[in-house]
Chain A
Amino acid sequence: MNILETLEECFAENGIVINNMDEELELDSIQYISLVVTIEQKFEMEYPEELLGEKAILTFNKFYEDVKRINEIGVNQ
Chain B
Amino acid sequence: MKKSIYNLYTENGDGRKIIYNSFTGKQVRFEKEMEKEYENVLTDNFHQIRKEHLEVLMASGILVDVEEFHELNNFYNGIVFNQDFLEITVLPTDACNFRCIYCYQTGPYHKMELDTANGLLMFLEKNCMKYKRILLGWFGGEPLLQKDMVIYVTERVKNMCKKNGIAFVSRMSTNGYELDLDTAKSLIKNSLLFYQITIDGTKETHNIQRPHIANGDSYEKIIYNLKEIKNNIRSSQLSIACRINVSERNYRVLDSFLDEFKEQFGDDTRFKVVVEPVHDWGGENIEKNKDLVIDDRLCEIVKRFCELAAKKEVHVLMPMDFGRGNLLCEASRKNSLVFNFNGDLLKCTSAIYTGGIAQDINRIGHIDKQGNCHINENWEKQWLKREDDELMDRYGCRNCIGYPLCGGSSCVLATNIIKADVCENKQRIADYIEGIVVYNDLTGKYLEIA
The main secondary structure of chain A at its interface with chain B is helix
A73 part of interface (Cβ distance < 8 Å): no
Cβ B135 vs Cβ A37 within 8 A: no
B132 part of interface (Cβ distance < 8 Å): yes
Cβ B132 vs Cβ A46 within 8 A: no
Kindly list chain A residues whose C-beta atoms are within 8 Å of the C-beta of B167.
14-16, 30-31, 33-35
Kindly list chain A residues whose C-beta atoms are within 8 Å of the C-beta of B191.
34, 37
B237 part of interface (Cβ distance < 8 Å): yes
A48 → chain B closest CB, angstroms: 8
B293 part of interface (Cβ distance < 8 Å): no
A20 → chain B closest CB, angstroms: 19
Size band of the interface chain B makes with A: 20 to 34
Cβ B236 vs Cβ A34 within 8 A: no
* B161-218 contacts to A (CB < 8 Å): 161-162, 164-169, 189, 191, 193
A41 part of interface (Cβ distance < 8 Å): yes
A40 part of interface (Cβ distance < 8 Å): yes
Contacts across chains A and B counted by CB atoms under 8 Å = 56
If A30-B135, A33-B193 touch, whether A47 touches B165 (CB-CB below 8 Å) is: no
Cβ A34 vs Cβ B132 within 8 A: no
B124 → chain A closest CB, angstroms: 15
Give A76 to B191 CA distance when docked, in angstroms. Answer: 20
Q: Which residue of A lies closest to B270 (CB)?
A: A49
A35, A37, A49, A52 pick with most chain B CB within 10 angstroms? A37
Binding site for B on A (CB under 8 A): 12-16, 28-31, 33-37, 40-41, 46-49, 52, 76
Minimum-distance CB pairs A-B, first 3 = A15-B165, A34-B167, A46-B234
Complex A-B: 24 CB contacts under 8 Å: A12-B165, A13-B162, A14-B165, A14-B167, A15-B132, A15-B166, A15-B167, A29-B322, A30-B85, A30-B133, A30-B135, A30-B169, A31-B133, A33-B167, A33-B193, A33-B237, A34-B167, A34-B169, A35-B167, A36-B236, A37-B191, A37-B237, A40-B236, A46-B235
Binding site for A on B (CB under 8 A): 85, 132-133, 135, 161-162, 164-169, 189, 191, 193, 234-237, 269, 322
